[in-house]
Amino acid sequence: MTAADRIQELAPICRLFPELGISAPKDLRTLLETALGSPEALDGFVPHGDGWSHAIAPRRIYHVLAGTLPVSGWRSLLEGLLLGSENLLQCPAEQQGAMARFRAALPPALRKRARILPSYSEEILASADAVVVFGRDETIDLFRSRCRKEQIFVGYGHRASLLWLGMVRRPTAVLAKAVARDLTAYDQLGCLSPQSLILEPGAAVFSLAKLLIRALSEEARARPVRRRAEEAARIREARTVARALGWPIWDDGEELQWTLAVRDLPQFQPTCGHRVLYLDPVPRKRLADWLAPLQGHLSAVGVGSPLPASLRKLFCHLGASRFCPAGTMQSPPPLWHHDGRPPLTDLIRWIDWEGSRPPAGAEARVGSGR
Amino acid sequence: MAKEKSGPISLWELLGGPEGRRRWGELLLALGAGEENRFRRLALTLCEAQARHVAPLERLLRAQGDAPRDWREIPPLPQELFKQASLFAHAPRTPQRVFETSGTTARDRGHHSLIDVDLYRVVSTEGARRAGVPWEAVDLHFLVACPEEAPRSSLSAMFGFWAEASPQPSHFWIHRGLLDETGLRTALTGAVREDRPVGLCGTAFAFVPLLQGEKGAPLPLPRGSFLLETGGFKGRTRELSKRDFYHALEATFGIPASEIWSEYGMTELSSQAYAQGVEGIHRTPPWARVWVVDPLTGQECPIGARGLAAWIDLANIDSVLGVQTQDEAIATADGFRLLGRSGAIPLRGCSLTVEDLRSQ
């Protein structure tokens, strides 16, 4: 099966899983073109400078998936399949159903190349030539230590994202809806979920809160989450802490769908998720110190009002790899640099052939070069 | 009973001085197990006094609206607040002791400040005595650091009180964070040889190196010995079910799993609950209550249902008497069955958690 065949086979599956943000063969082709220059590089030698190059995908990828969000697992499997690799998936129990659903949707030829493992397998891990791990830093370190030097290792650690609204003076319902959209997707558990909405003192905090209450209520009505006991415990704890510390707080009572509080903290702390959003008024000159705990962990910054260059630099320094308009935080484009890395390229090994013609026996592929 | 406004001296002033604290301690020890009304009165009085000095408690009471009429209506403060706020009820006085919860960084640690430890000493020795832990009858071996080495550990302090009050010898076997396994084994072997019963007490994790099948060999203890574990394995890389742990203890020390003591206490409290055996029911002393709260409804769980343990501890006079834990428990007719930490490893996506930041 060539790369072009795989593109054709995978595109309809992507449409069944809109969370992937990929809807047409051209998206997949663009993904490969951006990473490889030409999708055909996976099938054979393509022109490269004065010579030829061939992209070698891993024969077998061992994926370690984490947490409750299936989308990162789907995307990782999709990339492996697109490259033509065999994919072995170690999933936590909570994700097994979602991964099985994705696998079941695949055409038989690709389904054969995706296997969900019942548990960790040292033997299978050792047999893979690439290992992709999502999880806490300790998980990543653990798997990295278990890999051989020659195995390709790609780790995606935990990250936090922020919304920047700065000195918003006249918040609008449109802005509030955008914030609510970012907040409610994936129950605020993704690395792209905003953990804090940063304002500058003087911003219209309470006007914004009023609009957010309405928007969050609408989102909760449209997409309610059935709470589990441990989620309810975290939400109640967050609310009690906010009340005990005297922070202004709004919530939907026993529905446990959303919580909004204006924090007064000396430094950033993550939220417990589950649609617990903190508005954090922080003076600009204190922001670097306030965000210091996030150093190296910042992922996306949703921007809801003009972002000064100095703050853009600060966010970049903290690790930010994506700036996007508020309301689009949860729908990164297909070419998104996850954790600042280009998609697919970390998994590829290149072979160069220097000469005016491709090596004997190897068919030259039509391609645009890199 | 001490009254909140008995003449010119308030209950609070009374609890801030040695004589008042001694009298409060006597009141607690005089409480009978079934004295619900007296417990309720003392709880409401203490709550009212604490609310005047502990702003987070006062705010929660205000948010609640009506003043509590029963101890179950006193809002328990999440343990998290001991990390985020000062709950010392006698500020600006300087506390004699500050106990800290475990944690790798300062921002990970909760603080519990006490004017002095006299009441803690009284209730933690008497509580264990009333539960039936035979700590005064045997040589005591503690798998924790001594109070001098770990002055911020409330567990070390409690075992230190036992050591001081016991007529028998006692030893602390953790030094600079390491278990002196050789010294402990030698001491236990000597006790076996002399047929002197011992009490071996410590955190569950500290027992692991001694277990048969780890590197330890069986060491059946003399008749009359007891084992007491506390704390489970929360926050540790090693996970072991309570059943497997107790059976490993039984195999190593020859004490039936059904007789092994489990102590349930925490830095944020002054009193403890005790149970015996794998399925043991934890019971509190008469001056404390634990009720199990359903996090989905915020209401007390019916008997047999699972929820989170919340405490009212009348001995917790220097901070707040009500503490909400994240410990899962099942309500029973006369206590609760402790299941362990809820969501010790939170089910999260790729989002950074407080635990991640605090583990840096």
Instruction: Say if A337 falls within a structural domain.
Output: no
Domain count along chain B: 2
Q: Across the interface, do A67 and B349 touch by the CB < 8 Å criterion? A: yes
pLDDT band at B4 (very low <50, low <70, confident <90, very high): very low
Instruction: Give residue A138's pLDDT.
Output: 83
- Same structural domain for residues B134 and B234? yes
Residues of B with CB under 8 A from a CB of A: 55-57, 59-60, 63, 75, 77-78, 80-81, 84-85, 107, 294-298, 306-308, 324, 326, 342-343, 346-354, 356-357, 359-360
**Together in a domain, A255 and A292:** yes
Q: Smallest Cα–Cα separation from A349: which of A85, A115, A111?
A: A85
Q: Give yes or no: residues A140 and A173 share one domain.
A: no
Look-up of token digits 């195995």: A151
> In whole angstroms, how far apart are CA B204 and each of A110, A341, B198, B235?
48, 43, 17, 12
**Residue A348 in domain:** no
Is A355's pLDDT higher than 90? Answer: no
Query: A40-88 pLDDT, tens per residue?
Result: 999 999 999 889 999 999 999 999 997 767 888 999 999 999 999 999 9
Q: Is residue A41 part of a domain?
A: no
Does residue A89 lie in a domain region? Answer: yes
A240 and B75 within 8 Å at the Cβ level: the answer is yes
CB contact under 8 A, A236 and B298: yes
Number of domains in chain A: 2
Nearest CB to A189 within list B60, B84, B351: B351
The string of pLDDT tens digits covering residues B139-168 is: 999 999 999 999 999 999 999 999 999 999
| Same domain, residue pair A217 and A267 | yes
Distance from the Cα of A206 to chain B's closest Cα (Å) equals 19
Write out residues 88-107 of A within 8 Å (CB-CB) of B: 94
Shared domain for A113 and A206, answered yes or no, is no
Prediction ipTM score: 0.90
Domain-located, residue A208: yes
CA–CA distances in Å: residue A87 to residues A59, A61, A348, A350, B234: 9, 5, 15, 20, 34
Q: Which residue has the tokens 């300062």?
A: B106
Residues A307-312, mean pLDDT to the nearest whole number: 96
Contact state of B351 with A273 under an 8 Å Cβ cutoff? yes
- Hey, what amino acid is at B68? P
Evaluate whether residue B91 is within a structural domain.
Answer: no
10 Å CB burial of residue B23 (0-12, 13-18, 19+) is: middle
* Structure confidence at residue A92 as a pLDDT band (50, 70, 90): confident
Report if residue B206 sits inside a domain: yes
* Position A207 in a domain: yes
pLDDT at B214 over 60: no
Residues of A in contact with B354 (CB under 8 A): 269-270, 272
Confidence label for B34 from pLDDT (cuts 50, 70 and 90): confident
The CATH number assigned to the domain holding A22 equals 3.40.605.10
* Ordered strands of the A114-117 beta sheet: A114-117, A86-90, A60-64, A130-134, A152-156
The answer, for A186 touching chain B at a CB cutoff of 8 Å, is yes
Assess whether A164 and A152 both reside in one domain.
Answer: no
Q: Are residues A177 and A318 in the same domain?
A: yes
Mean pLDDT of A325-344: 89
Model pLDDT for residues A5-29, shown as the tens digit of each residue: 999 999 999 999 988 888 889 999 9
**B259 located within any domain:** yes
What pLDDT does B105 receive? 61
Facing residue for A237 by CB, picked from B59, B78, B348: B78
User: How much is the pLDDT for B5?
Assistant: 46
pLDDT band at B205 (very low <50, low <70, confident <90, very high): confident
Q: What is the pLDDT of residue B11?
A: 75
Chain A residues with beta carbon closer than 8 angstroms to that of B85: 244-245
Q: Do B59 and B137 fall into the same domain?
A: no
Domain finish residue from B251, B280, B309? B280
A101-148 pLDDT per residue, tens: 999 999 999 999 999 998 888 999 999 999 999 988 888 999 999 999
How confident is residue A31, by pLDDT bands cut at 50, 70 and 90?
A: very high
pLDDT tens-digit profile of B38-71? 999 999 999 999 999 999 999 999 999 989 999 9
Judgement on whether residues B20 and B71 belong to the same structural domain of the protein:
yes
Last residue of a domain, one of B253, B280, B307: B280
SS (H, E, C) A42-90: HCCEEEECCEEEEEECCCEEEEECCCCCHHHHHHHHHHHHHHCCEEEEE
Whether the predicted pLDDT of A173 surpasses 90: yes
What is the CB-side half-sphere exposure of residue B195 using CA atoms within 13 A?
1
Q: What is the CATH number of the domain that holds B201?
A: 3.40.50
* Domain assignment present for B128: yes
Same domain, B164 and B255: yes
Interface contact flag, A160 B352, Cβ < 8 Å: yes
Residue-wise pLDDT tens digits, A200-237: 999 999 999 999 999 999 999 999 999 999 999 999 99
Mean pLDDT of all residues in B64-93: 94
B179 and B243 housed in the same domain: yes
Answer whether A270 touches B (CB < 8 Å).
yes
Domain boundary (B230, B254, B280) is at B280
Look up residue A293 and give its two tokens.
Answer: 């705990």
Judge if B60 and B144 occupy the same domain.
no
Whether residues B140 and B256 fall in one domain: yes
Least confident window among A192-201, A234-243, A333-342, B130-139: A333-342
Claim to verify: residue B270 and residue B124 sit in the same structural domain: yes
Cα–Cα nearest to B351, from A239, A156, A262: A156
Average pLDDT on A323-334 reads: 92
Could you tell me the residue range of the domain that residue B52 belongs to?
A: 5-85
Residue B358 has what pLDDT? 45
Closest CB to A244: pick one of B81, B347, B349: B81
CB atoms within 10 A of CB B176: 7
pLDDT at residue number B7: 46
Residue A3 has pLDDT above 70, yes or no: yes
Please give the distance of CA B1 from its chain centroid, rounded to a whole number: 26
Same domain, B54 and B148: no
Q: Given this model, what pLDDT does residue B350 score?
A: 55
**Which residue do the tokens 């940063």 mark?**
A198
* Assigned domain for B341 exists: no
**Cβ(A248)–Cβ(A199) below 8 Å:** no
Shared domain check, A306 and A165:
yes
In the prediction, which pLDDT does B212 show? 67
Both A88 and A204 in one domain: the answer is no
Q: Is residue B297 part of a domain?
A: no
Segments forming the whole domain that contains residue A239: 160-325
| A117 and A195 inside one domain | no
Domain boundary among A123, A158, A193: A158
- pLDDT, tens digit, for every residue of B224-280? 999 999 976 554 445 678 899 999 999 999 999 999 999 999 999 999 999 999 999
- What local confidence, expressed as pLDDT, does residue A341 receive? 86
CB-based contacts of B35, cutoff 8 Å, min separation 6 = B286
Q: What is the pLDDT of residue B360?
A: 38
> Is there a contact between B84 and B111 (Cβ–Cβ < 8 Å)?
no
Name every residue whose Cβ is closer than 8 Å to that of residue B144 and which is 6 or more positions away in sequence.
B150, B153, B155, B156, B159, B172, B174, B201, B202, B203, B206
Residues B306-351 have pLDDT tens digits of 999 999 999 999 999 999 999 999 999 999 999 887 654 443 445 5
Please indicate, yes or no, whether residues A79 and A169 belong to a single structural domain of this protein. Answer: no
- The answer to whether residue B54 sits within a structural domain is yes
Tell which residue, B157, B122, B163, has the closest CA to residue B285.
B122
pLDDT of residue B342: 65
pLDDT for residue A370: 45
> Residue A291: closest CA among chain B residues belongs to which residue?
B357
- From A158, A189, A213, the end of a domain falls on A158
**Both B175 and B261 in a single domain?**
yes
Q: HSE of A253 in the Cβ direction (CA atoms, 13 Å)?
A: 2
Whole-number percent of chain A with pLDDT over 90: 78
Which of these, A341, A342, A339, lies nearest to A299 by C-alpha position? A339
- DSSP letters for A301-361: EEESS---HHHHHHHHHTT--EEEETT-TT---TT--GGG--TTGGG-EEEEE-SSSPPTT
Half-sphere exposure of B165 (CA within 13 A, CB side): 18
- Using CB atoms, which residue from B77, B85, B350 is nearest to A158? B350
| 3 state SS of A235 | helix
Whether residues B189 and B249 share a domain: the answer is yes
**Which pLDDT does position B106 carry in this prediction?**
63
Question: What is the arithmetic mean of pLDDT over B192-211?
Answer: 93
Token pair 């994705």 is found at A102
Q: Quick one: B50 and B143 in the same domain?
A: no
| CATH number, domain with residue A211 | 3.40.309.10
Query: Chain A residue closest to B85 (CA)?
Result: A245
A165 and A78 in one domain?
no
Residue A182 CA: distances (Å) to CA of A162, A176, A330, B144, B353? 10, 10, 6, 47, 18
Q: Tell whether A72 and A201 lie within a shared domain.
A: no
Q: What is the pLDDT of residue B270?
A: 97
CA distance to A93, A106, B345, per residue, from A118 (Å): 9, 20, 20
Residue B130 scores a pLDDT above 80:
yes
Please compute the mean of the pLDDT values over residues B24-40 and round it to a whole number. 94
- pLDDT classification of A94: cutoffs 50, 70, 90: confident
